[in-house]
Structure formats: structure tokens, C-alpha cells
A and B are shown apart, each in its own frame.
Chain A
């Protein structure tokens, strides 16, 4: 799986409350958040959700954590399930957390709990990049260029905004913005007069209405 997605998911998981409801044996006792489609979700589309194993007549509200947007509310039926709740996804691609309100202990049967689910909205892309220089010697005032391609599966990510952060020995030197061409390729000059040292660049496909932000760090380029 894409490393960037894993990192993002892990970050969100760690940022969400670590409290876990204390539910007894057997397995599957805790309230659950079930989805009909958990992947291939597009920005501005809909996600269908059922919240299960909650006491009858309790109210459950769904929302996107930290980003506002659509919400959906349902009342739990005698079956312990809400009806199918439909909630619109954010209009920009990204990894979001779908969350419920805090379900009280009297409704959950255990500790009070807010259910959360990390959901990727939009497509992921693979960014390939490298740094090149007109000369390896600082004395010759070299120009450093970041170039590469961006694809999602077999499709080139064309005319998309990218950001290149040039780093020297790990510290940011400068940030440059640009875009891919019609074939998903890019070539950006990231400047000169940068001094001797080991340079890398973090090339990021900016999140848009189709693609989740993805990035890659280039191999080091040494200037003497």
C-alpha cells in the first residue's frame, strides 16, 4: 500500500482519542460502524453507513472530523441498527475521519464511545522524482532541477499542481510551485546559489478534486 496513505492513516488513528470501550466477551460486542463501500469513494459523492449494536431509540449523528461539511442523523431501531445513513464526502480529495457523536454508555452497553473510521476520498497517485544539476561544483553557480512523472495506475496525472520543497542537509532551503504537463511530467528549476551540501527535494502532488495529496523524497544530490 502507498506509504503516504499508511502514514496519513496512522497519523489520524493516533490523533483520534485512544480510549476504547470496555466490552466483554464474546467478539463483536462493541457498537460498529459498517459501510457498504469502503473504497473507490469520490470527492463530493456519498457514503452509505449503518451503525450497529447500539440500544434501541438512541440517536446517532455522523460527521467528518475537523472539516465540517455534511452530517447525517439516524435513530437506532429495535434491531440495534440505524437505517442506512447517507453522508456526502468532502469536495477535495484526502484522507478523512468519519465519526459518530459520543454514544453514551446506556446506548452502547459498555463505556461511552465515539466510533471513528478513516476513509480515503479520491484517488492516490505515485510520484516519481529526481534532482539534477548543471554542475556538481558550487563555484560554477549550478542550477538545480527537480523532474519526474506522476501517474495513478496506468493514467498520467496531467496539468496538476505540485509543490517542490528543496532541502539541504534536511533543512528547507526553498519551496517552489509548478504543475505537471499533459503527460503527467514535470520539470521545475529549484534555484541556484545554494552552497555546498547534500540536497534532497520533497515533491508533492497537491490534493485536488480528484487526487489525494501524495509525495516522494528524491535521492540526495551532492554539491561541492
Chain B
């Protein structure tokens, strides 16, 4: 049948429109590809500027890369281009290009801001000269916080992409990008808290004294590790000065701490002596231990401590990367070996404890001096952070309420939340008095389970389960006596070389209660308490060398709060601060509703 002229015209018009539509989409996609290639070209140039430590050129280059990727993002966001992402074969490639353009734009823009501010701070003599422009310091903090957020998002989005589904060579590029971004995300997650805390310390409006607790993660505590050494640093209008450095022996020699400020109901929960400088951080809530350190210093030295920072071997490795290799008594310590040296090798090389303490002191003094003299290498800092495989976390506390609120707002205060919600935290306290936690590993899982059950504490609730696999990976022989000593009282049980004793603390959600507690499938008797409104269960475990124990805690936890409002949110599990980064996972069977 012949078509009328009008119909023929309409079909022709439709065909032309379709062709134009396809041509437009192809042009946009081509623009996106070209823009991404331009971005990659600019990013490659950045490496030279970074190598030459030329922050001005780096910032300008980031600006160009940012412009290029913005153009790519503009094309990727075009609804016409997005329609093509539903096509078979090339759809996945267009999707990936859109993710890279969108997330990458945010990363590059934030990076440009950070390098621009860093350049200005460098010119202002940050740390060495009086700080005249505190806005610069806070800009650096804001920039790093934004960049970290963007990098973490890019990492999460990229990790969800399967490179094998891509074409045109994108598969190899994305696989390489995933590795690089994962490394960058690790570095960013570790550097950002350091910058957040560092900038807050620098911008204090008057002279402040900071106690730095250098924790030894080979002997674990709730906030990380035993205070093996300390440093006193003053900040004065942006200028930093190392006032004093010492080992725990010096603290012990000062005398016992009056611990009146410590919450009375918590004093006997972990069976610790709160007057002993080595035992004050059994709770995961860093402000408790920080206050005791500040009180102890004031009581014995008559000087007010304005704030406390907790750092462990992981943070020290970042600082080592920043200041470069340091040689102490013939041993060259750098970012590659500092964690192993401080947690294992030092005990084998220096069996005399006094000499060992002196070596740590010399190492720390050299590092702090270089740091405060501004002899830092940003590349080394970044590399050390990217390669850091510890579970260390820096924490900070301030006597000043406003400053403390800032630390809390950046989640660097080590505060245990006392609010309702599906939050579980696990900590370890070494109860053997040894350094065997260099060999301790932990895997933990938190599962939110079925609904429609009530708690005895008066809430509508749901079942949940916390599982912890704790392993003592210490060898059965060959360790120095100082490392695998057992200082806890002997009660007749076999304690072969390499055996340890751990107090595993599980902080349950507010209002939760235990239904069943087992270790390796057998009912377990646990110590209990309430810390920060959170029920805590403490497992006291003897760990033989090479042994793994499985702890299971079946809970019933509230789904409503005291105002009868539904508690929502994904489950969160906070692992111990420890030398070997813990493996953590969470899952949920879904949401619950109130009856």
C-alpha cells in the first residue's frame, strides 16, 4: 500500500530526528572520551610537578585536570548520553565513564583546593613561624575533609565495577585505577585525621601544652596500646615546640595518679589499677584516659595539660615517611621497616630494657625534631600512609570544650557513642603484660537479624549476633623473654611460650541485652558493666600460640528509643585499634517496623 505524502514526510522527519539524536549522542560521548583523555594527560603531568614538590605548578595542573574532567562530567550527565548507558555492550563502558567523571571531578577539585592552600601555608612557614592567618589552616582542614570524602566515594563506586565487563581497553585502565584509588583511599583515610587534628592544634589562639601518648600496639589497650613513651609539645600561635620526651619508666617514676575524676561505676570493670600510668586506657572511650593523663601530669609536674593525642606505630610510620630515614645506633629506620622495628625487631636487637627504651627515645627525638623543623617530605608521607597496614587510629582530646567538640565533629576524639543505634565496638586489652599483640589478629562480624521480639529493658527489639575470631599468631619459640613474658598471676593452667591472655570487650548497642554467650560453642562466663550507657561484655581468654577462639554473642537490641521513635540506620562495627588491621563486616536481614 502506498503511503500518503504527509506520512512519508513524517517518517522522513522522524528518521532525520533519529539520526540527529544519534549523532548528538555520539558527539557527546566522543567529547566525554576526549575530555577524559585530556584529564588523564593532565594527571600524568601532575606526577612531574609532585615529584619536583612544586605546589604552585601542581595546583595549576590540578585546575586544568579539573576543567577537563568537568567537561567529561557535563557530557556524562547529559540525559541523552545516560540513555545510551542502557545499551548492551557499550552501556557498561558509558556507565563507568560517568562514574569516573562525576567522582573524579569532586576529587580533583578538592585536591586543587588542598594543594593551593598547602602552597600558601608553606610560604607562611607553617609550624615554624607565628601563624597570622588561621583561616588558611581551617581551609586546609576543610579541603582535606572534602577530598577524603570524595576519594572514599570514588573508591566505593569503583570497587563495585567489574572490569571484565568493559571494552575498548577500558578494562585494563579501570583495573589499574581500582588499585591506585584503593591505595589513595587508604592513604587519605589515614592522613585526613592527622591533618584535622594537626590544624586544630596549630590554630589554637594561645599557648597550649599537649601530651602525646605514644602507644605500643604490641601490648593492646582499649584506646590502642600501653603508653610506652610520651612527648610534651607546646603550640603557640601556630609555632610548635618539643618540650620533653620520655619513656613510660619516667611516668611511673613520677608516682601514682589520683583517679578521682574517673567514673566510679567503671573502676573495677577491667580489673585494672587506674593509678598506674600503664593501665589507664582499658575503656575504649579515649577522653577517660586522656583526662587521667592530664590529671597525672598536673598532679606530679604542676603543669596544666590542655590536650592529649594518642598515636601508635601506624601513625609513627606515617611520620617516618614524612621525615625520611633516621639512623639510630646503626639501625636505619624508614617507612618500610618502622612498624616491624618498633613492635618486634627492637626487642630482639636490644634485650636490655633500658637500652631499648633509650633507642626508642633517640628515634622519637630525631623524628620530632625533623618534623618540627619542617623537614618533611609530602611524597614520603603519602607513600607511608598508602602502605600502612596497621589498625592504628590517631585520637585527640582537649580540656577546652569548644576544641573537644571540634575533635568530636571530625570523629577523631575516640568517643564511644552513648546514643541509641545499631552500633557495636570491639576492643582488646592485653592481660598478660607482654608484647605479643604484634602477632594478634582479629576478625569480627555484626549481623542484624530478625524483628518481632522485645527486650527485658522495655523496648521493642530484634535479634543480632556479634562474632569475633581472635587469633594468637605468636610462634611457640624464638621470641625474646621480654616479648612473651606472662606477668599475670599463675593459676595452674598450662602457659607455654608464646601464650597470651586477652580481655576482649564487646560494646553492645544502648539498651541491648545478651541472650547467649559462647566461646568455641561452649557457654562462657563473662565480666559485665555499663560504659557510656552501653552494656559491655568482657571475655577473659587464655590464648595458646597459634590458637584461634570464636566468640559469639547473641543479642536482643532495641528498635525504638526512649521517645518510642523507630531506630534506623545501617549496622556499624568499630574494631580495635591494633597493630594488625582487623577484618570487619556487617550485614542486616532488613529493616524492622514498630508495632
**Chain A contact residues, CB within 8 Å of chain B:** 1-3, 5-6, 9-10, 13-14, 18, 20-41, 48-50, 52-53, 56, 78-81, 84, 109, 115, 117, 120, 122-126, 151-155, 214
Q: Is B279 a contact of A120 with CB atoms below 8 Å?
A: no
Q: Is A214 a contact of B458 with CB atoms below 8 Å?
A: yes
A13, A41, A122: most-surrounded residue (chain B CB, <10 A): A13
Given contacts A10-B265, A53-B271, contact A26 B458 (CB under 8 A): no
Task: Tell me, rounded to whole Å, the shortest Cβ–Cβ distance linking B542 to chain A.
Answer: 10
Q: Which residues of A contact B503 (CB under 8 A)?
A: 27-28
Main secondary structure of the interface of A (DSSP, over half): loop
**Chain B contact residues, CB within 8 Å of chain A:** 221, 264-265, 267-268, 270-273, 275-276, 278-279, 282, 429-433, 454-461, 487-489, 491-493, 501, 503, 510-511, 513-515, 517, 523-528, 530, 533, 535, 537, 540, 556, 562, 564, 594-595
B268, B492, B526: most-surrounded residue (chain A CB, <10 A): B268
Task: Tell me, rounded to whole Å, the shortest Cβ–Cβ distance linking B465 to chain A.
Answer: 15
Q: Is B457 a contact of A39 with CB atoms below 8 Å?
A: yes
Q: Which residues of B contact A34 (CB under 8 A)?
A: 525-527, 540
Task: Tell me, rounded to whole Å, the shortest Cβ–Cβ distance linking A28 to chain B.
Answer: 3
A-B pairs with beta carbons under 8 Å apart, 25 shown: A1-B457, A3-B562, A9-B265, A9-B530, A21-B268, A26-B430, A26-B487, A28-B431, A29-B272, A30-B272, A32-B271, A32-B540, A34-B540, A38-B535, A39-B457, A39-B513, A39-B515, A40-B513, A52-B525, A84-B525, A120-B457, A126-B458, A152-B454, A153-B461, A154-B454
Q: Which one, A24, A33, A80, contacts B276 given CB within 8 A? A: A24
Q: Report how far A34 CA is from B268 CA in the complex, Å.
A: 13
How many A-B residue contacts, CB cutoff 8 Å?
A: 161
Q: Which residues of B contact A155 (CB under 8 A)?
A: 454
A14, A31, A32, A40: most-surrounded residue (chain B CB, <10 A): A32
Given contacts A9-B265, A13-B264, A38-B514, contact A120 B456 (CB under 8 A): yes
Q: Is A2 a contact of B458 with CB atoms below 8 Å?
A: yes
Q: Is B271 a contact of A124 with CB atoms below 8 Å?
A: no
Q: Which one, A13, A27, A36, A153, contacts B221 given CB within 8 A? A: A27
Q: Which residues of A contact B533 (CB under 8 A)?
A: 1, 6
Task: Tell me, rounded to whole Å, the shortest Cβ–Cβ distance linking B4 to chain A.
Answer: 70
Among residues of B, the one whose C-beta sits closest to the C-beta of A151 is B458
Task: Tell me, rounded to whole Å, the shortest Cβ–Cβ distance linking A107 to chain B.
Answer: 12
Given contacts A3-B562, A38-B528, A48-B525, contact A29 B489 (CB under 8 A): yes
Q: Is B526 a contact of A2 with CB atoms below 8 Å?
A: no
Q: Which one, B273, B493, B517, contacts A22 given CB within 8 A? A: B273
Q: Is B514 a contact of A53 with CB atoms below 8 Å?
A: no
Q: Which one, A18, A25, A40, A80, contacts B278 given CB within 8 A? A: A25
Other than the given A84-B525, A123-B457, 12 more pairs (CB < 8 A) read A25-B487, A26-B278, A26-B487, A28-B429, A29-B272, A32-B527, A36-B523, A37-B514, A39-B513, A48-B525, A50-B525, A123-B456
Q: Report how far A49 CA is from B525 CA in the complex, Å.
A: 7
Q: Is B455 a contact of A153 with CB atoms below 8 Å?
A: yes
Given contacts A1-B457, A34-B540, contact A27 B524 (CB under 8 A): no
Task: Tell me, rounded to whole Å, the shortest Cβ–Cβ distance linking B184 to chain A.
Answer: 38
Q: Report how far A14 CA is from B263 CA in the complex, Å.
A: 11
